[in-house]
């Protein structure tokens, strides 16, 4: 399954965004969170808890980018993009409802995430409507 140009653009933008943000959190959490007005201390446990999902986000970003070139990974790349860019806004909206209004920077991140989610949904809409492929064993059973 070859990606369309629109799908490549959506995967490229979502992949680069996830990779950049994930790597920033992984390697420079103090600077990343300071950009949101959050001051981190030197608690090794807290920093570990922040770096770990940063590494996961960067990994998902690489997977999204891989889907552009390796057509066998396209479906997985699309699922990764939709998972990340739908789940993050949902989490932020839950936080907004439960914790109140965050900083303007966090609201800005929410808007960017919603835009990327909408782009991915629009780009992948044709494939989302297709039935899932049957497992190999089911196709070759006699």
Overall pTM surpassing 0.75 (yes/no): yes
pLDDT tens digit sequence for 1-33:
789 999 999 999 999 999 999 999 999 999 999
Contact in structure between 29 and 44 (CB atoms under 8 Å): no
Residues with Cβ < 8 Å from 118, sequence gap 6 or more? none
pLDDT tens digit sequence for 130-139:
776 666 555 5
Q: What is the mean pLDDT of residues 73-92?
A: 96
Contact in structure between 26 and 51 (CB atoms under 8 Å): yes
| Residue 113 to residues 4, 55, 119, 142, Cα–Cα distance (Å) | 22, 18, 10, 47
The per-residue pLDDT of the chain, averaged, comes to 92
Task: State the residue for tokens 């839950």.
Answer: 94
């Amino acid at each position: 399954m070859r990606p369309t140009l629109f799908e490549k653009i959506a995967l490229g933008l979502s992949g680069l965004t996830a990779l950049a943000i994930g790597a920033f959190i992984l390697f420079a959490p103090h600077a990343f969170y300071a950009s949101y007005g959050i001051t981190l201390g030197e608690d090794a446990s807290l920093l570990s808890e922040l770096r770990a999902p940063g590494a996961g986000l960067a990994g998902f970003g690489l997977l999204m980018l891989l889907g552009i070139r390796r057509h066998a990974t396209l479906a997985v790349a699309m699922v990764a993009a939709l998972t990340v860019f739908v789940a993050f806004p949902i989490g932020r909206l839950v936080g907004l409802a439960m914790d109140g209004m965050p900083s303007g920077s966090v609201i800005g991140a929410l808007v960017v995430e919603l835009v990327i989610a909408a782009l991915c949904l629009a780009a992948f809409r044709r494939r989302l409507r297709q039935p899932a492929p049957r497992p190999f064993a089911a196709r070759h059973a006699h």
